Amino acid sequence: MTRTPIMAGNWKMNLDHFEAVALVQKLDWTLKDAKHDYEDVEVAVIPPFTDIRSVQTIVDADKMGIVFGAQDVSEHDSGAYTGEISAAMLKRLGCTYVVVGHSERREYHGEDDALVGRKAKVALDAEMTPIICCGEGLDVRKEGRQVEYTLAQIDGAFDGLSADEAKKTVIAYEPVWAIGTGEVATPEDAQEVCAAIRARLAELYDASVADAVRILYGGSVKSSNVAQIMAKDDVDGALVGGASLKAEEFAAIARFK
C-alpha cells in the first residue's frame, strides 16, 4: 500500500500570530516556487493555540495546500477546565491534525498512555487526525529496550480505539534523546522501531490497519538527513521541531526526494 508522506512542523511555544502568518506565507511561496505537489507529500504546520485562527485565515484566503493542527487537546468536551481547549474548538478552526502525547507533555504535564489514548479518541470523534507520539528516553535506549518500551506506549494509547479508529491515526516515533538535541537517530534506528510499531498494529488489529497508518520519525530532522530516514520502508514522514521554524529549511525537508 502506498502511504502519502507527511511533513509536520511542530512549532512548540514559538512565534506569535504575526510571526506565524509571515512563516506560513513564506513557506507557501517557497513551496509554490518549487511547484510542490501536496498530493505527493502533505505539509502540515502545528502552531501554538494562539496562532491557529491567524493561520486558518491566511491558509483559506490564499488557498494554500498547507494544512494545520494543534499541539494538544483537552480530553473533555466543555465545562470547568480552565486553560484547556476542546476538540470541537479546534475542529471549528479547521484543524486537520492534533498532536497527542508529545514527550514534552508527558514529561512536564505528567501525561500517561491512557490519557494520550483518550485525547486521540476525542480528536477522532471530532473528525481530526491524532498524531500519537511515542518514543524512549536515553536510559531505555542505553539498555536496548527501545522497542519493548515504545510498544508498551502504543498498547496503552490504542487500548480504547477500534480498528476503524486506529486506521485513521498517525503515529510519531520520537526517541526523546533525539528531540532538540541535534542527536539524530540513524535511519536503521528509526526503521527498527517504526517497523516494530507497524507489526504491533497488525497484532492488535489486522494487516489493513498496519498498512494504512502513517508512522513518522521525529528528532532533529533537517534537510540534510531527511532523505536517508525517508528511504526506510516503515517511515512515512517526519515530525519536525526546530527546523520547521525556518520556511526554506522546512520546505527543503518537505521536498526531500
Nearest CA among 74, 75, 122, 70 for reference residue 98: 70
Q: Does 9 bind ligand PEP (CB under 6 A)?
A: no
Q: Does residue 83 have a known ligand-binding role?
A: no
Residue with the three cell numbers 476538540: 87
Residue-by-residue DSSP string for 21-46: HHHHHHHHHHHHHTT--TTTSEEEEE
Annotated active-site residue 174? The verdict is yes
Q: Does 242 bind ligand PEP (CB under 6 A)?
A: yes
Q: Which stretch binds ligand PEP (CB under 6 A): 107-115, 187-195, 202-210, 233-241?
A: 233-241
Q: Say which of 42, 136, 174, 192 is annotated catalytic.
A: 174
| Residue choice 185, 221, 230, 251 for contact with ligand PEP (CB under 6 A) | 221
Total residue count of the chain as it appears in this document:
257
Stretch that binds ligand PEP, among 19-27, 88-96, 139-147, 240-248 (CB under 6 A): 240-248
Q: 111 or 209: whose CB is closer to ligand PEP? A: 111
Compute the least distance from the CB of residue 101 to ligand PEP, in Å.
Answer: 11
Per CB under 6 A, does 241 bind ligand PEP? yes
- Smallest gap from Cβ 55 to ligand PEP, in A, equals 18
* 218 lies in the site for ligand PEP, by CB under 6 A: yes
Closer Cβ to ligand PEP, 36 or 106, answer by number: 106
Distance (Å) of CA 199 to CA 2, 38, 191, 194 = 17, 28, 12, 9
10 among annotated binding-site residues: yes
Is 220 annotated to bind a ligand? Reply is: yes
- Among the listed residues 36, 42, 102, 111, the single catalytic one is 102
Q: Is 12 annotated as a binding residue?
A: yes
The answer to whether 239 contacts ligand PEP (rule: CB under 6 A) is yes
| Cβ distance to ligand PEP smaller for residue 209 or 215 | 215
Residues of each annotated binding site for substrate? 10-12, 180, 220, 241-242
Catalytically annotated residues: 102, 174
